[in-house]
A and B are shown apart, each in its own frame.
Chain A
Amino acid sequence: AQSVTQPDIHITVSEGASLELRCNYSYGATPYLFWYVQSPGQGLQLLLKYFSGDTLVQGIKGFEAEFKRSQSSFNLRKPSVHWSDAAEYFCAVAPMTTDSWGKFQFGAGTQVVVTP
């Protein structure tokens, strides 16, 4: 069965420290991969996406993610977090078949708390 797993429900990190959020997927073939961020009470904002090519993807707000096919992972990283990075982060996958494109499947999310 297809699935997206974010193993960490909640992460607390100090401001200025590095952050890594994990995402693992289970699909028949490599899907399209995304990371979204949701601030409290808000919709979702796309941070970055991977379709093909370079496995290290740069996104907005200083985030990057690395696709590792052998591990079926797409982990999100930021070298130095800011207090404004406190939010919920969602990993998402979408199948590559044209009849299923756009039918995203989301992980359960990781809540990030940033402490002073």
Chain B
Amino acid sequence: SQTIHQWPATLVQPVGSPLSLECTVEGTSNPNLYWYRQAAGRGLQLLFYSVGIGQISSEVPQNLSASRPQDRQFILSSKKLLLSDSGFYLCALGPGTPQETQYFGPGTRLLVL
């Protein structure tokens, strides 16, 4: 079965510091991968998606970037964090066909102070 790992689970970072959140998946190959952000009191916002190694599409302009160095690894990064980057970041394993379910990882809670 498919499994999604995210780390760290919780992170507190000062404003202006760099960020690296990692997502790895198991039990599948060549998955579509997604990064979502959930800000306090708000729904989920799709940030990036990737259909393969080195292929990244950004959904919204922001202070963040994403990379996919390996088939089952998806990384979310920032060079300088802003207060507004605080939130709950979820990695998702997307369906290749409409009949498949989108699975979500356990999430990383980021607090920027």
Contact = CB atoms under 8 A, between A and B. Distances in A.
Q: Do A and B bind each other?
A: yes
A109 B49 CA distance: 22
Interface stretch (B64-72, B75-83, B90-98): B90-98
A30 to B, nearest CB: 12
B107 A42 contact: yes
B49 A103 contact: yes
A1 to B, nearest CB: 14
Contacts of A6: 43
Contacts, number: 61
A70 B107 CA distance: 36
Interface in A10-52: 32, 34, 36, 41-46, 49, 51
A101 B97 CA distance: 8
A79 interface: no
Interface string B79-112: 0000000000010101101110111111101000
A108 interface: yes
A94 B98 CA distance: 9
Contact of B94 (A32, A43, A49, A102): A102
B53 interface: no
B32 interface: yes
Given A43-B106, A101-B97, A102-B49, 17 more contacts: A6-B43, A41-B109, A42-B106, A42-B107, A44-B44, A46-B103, A51-B99, A90-B43, A101-B98, A103-B34, A104-B46, A104-B102, A106-B36, A106-B43, A106-B45, A108-B43, A109-B43
Interface of B: 4, 32, 34, 36, 41-46, 49, 59, 90, 92, 94-95, 97-99, 101-107, 109
Which 5 pairs show the lowest CB-CB distances between chains A and B? A102-B94, A108-B43, A43-B104, A106-B44, A44-B104
